[in-house]
Amino acid sequence: MIEDVEDGDTYVCRPHGPGEIRSALVGRSLTRTHRRGKAMWFETDDGGPDLGLHLGMAGRIVFDQPPAPRSWDRFALVFADGGRLALRDKRRLGRAVLDPDLSNLGPDAAMVGRDAFRRRVGRGTAPIKARLLDQSVVAGVGNLLADETLWRAGLSPRREAGSLDTDELDRLRRALRAATRDATAKGGVHTGRLIVGRKRREPCPSCGAALERATVGGRTTFWCPREQPEAPVTRRQAA
DNA sequence: AGGTCTGTTCAGCT
DNA sequence: TAGCTGAACAGACC
């Protein structure tokens, strides 16, 4: 049972005022947990509101850890048995909210079926990377995972989304599922093969070519110009 | 010391 | 409508 709620950070808890989440949750228990993409939320008992948590760019959920220095714990639930669940987030881009609005959130990127993926992702004139990052198209792909996925699929981030054919979209979906699985197993998207060494400007881990760097979809983007060609390439080369 | 970068999202504009 | 830009935050890094 929730005995206390630390909701004093008015930026992370916006648009709720101090004490608002607290009064809605004290005395209730969490009954179910959910996640879709980067959104997570909890149901509460007795018809209480849901509690939504988002990690922003650098937040984490910590359980039963000593409170963070400098109050980096931006929100916390204190349970009657002494347990404490905190949203630890230096940057304050995380979020705690009652009854989160999930109506503009697409299906989970690693769960969406083949046909829905083709329909949702393979349209529009924006670059494919921007399409992947759009949480209303599919939920859960951030900047690093997008780069890793496109690299594995051998697709340029700059390709127009609507220009991808069915084979390319299926390849993209397979790469996304694999990249997500690997990131989960290894503890984060920063463990991706393309991502490690990105800062140091290391070459393509697969072919050794110098990686390209540019802003695509409004985000810093790395890709291998050799393995992720701008124009679709006929794989069947004349012998 | 100061400038730049960052695992995200949202409002506001064309 | 779809797509792009910049702002919100604050620490890490050079």
Question: A95-149: per-residue pLDDT in tens?
Answer: 999 999 999 999 999 999 999 999 999 999 999 999 999 999 999 999 999 999 9
Summarised one tens digit per residue, pLDDT across range A78-108 is: 999 999 999 999 999 999 999 999 999 999 9
- pLDDT for position A180: 96
- pLDDT for position A199: 82
The answer, yes or no, to whether residue A238 has pLDDT greater than 50, is no
Contact A132, A149 (CB under 8 A): yes
Distance A132 CA to B8 C1' (A): 14
Can you give the pTM of this predicted structure? Answer: 0.94
**Which nucleotide minimizes the distance between its C1' and the CA of A189?**
B7
Which among A214, A221, A213, A193 is positioned nearest to A205, based on CA atoms? Answer: A193
Distance A125 CA to B3 C1' (A): 35
**Strand B at less than 7 A from CB of A56:** yes
Summarised one tens digit per residue, pLDDT across range A142-199 is: 999 999 999 999 999 999 999 999 999 999 999 999 999 999 999 899 999 999 988 8
Confidence at A70, pLDDT banded by 50, 70, 90: confident
Structure tokens at A60: 């984490």
Beta bridge partners of A139: A108
Contact A62, A89 (CB under 8 A): no
Distance A218 CA to C6 C1' (A): 10
Cα A226 to the chain's mean position, in Å?
27
**Which nucleotide minimizes the distance between its C1' and the CA of A142?**
B7
What is the side-by-side strand order in the sheet with A30-36? Answer: A30-36, A39-44, A51-54, A95-98
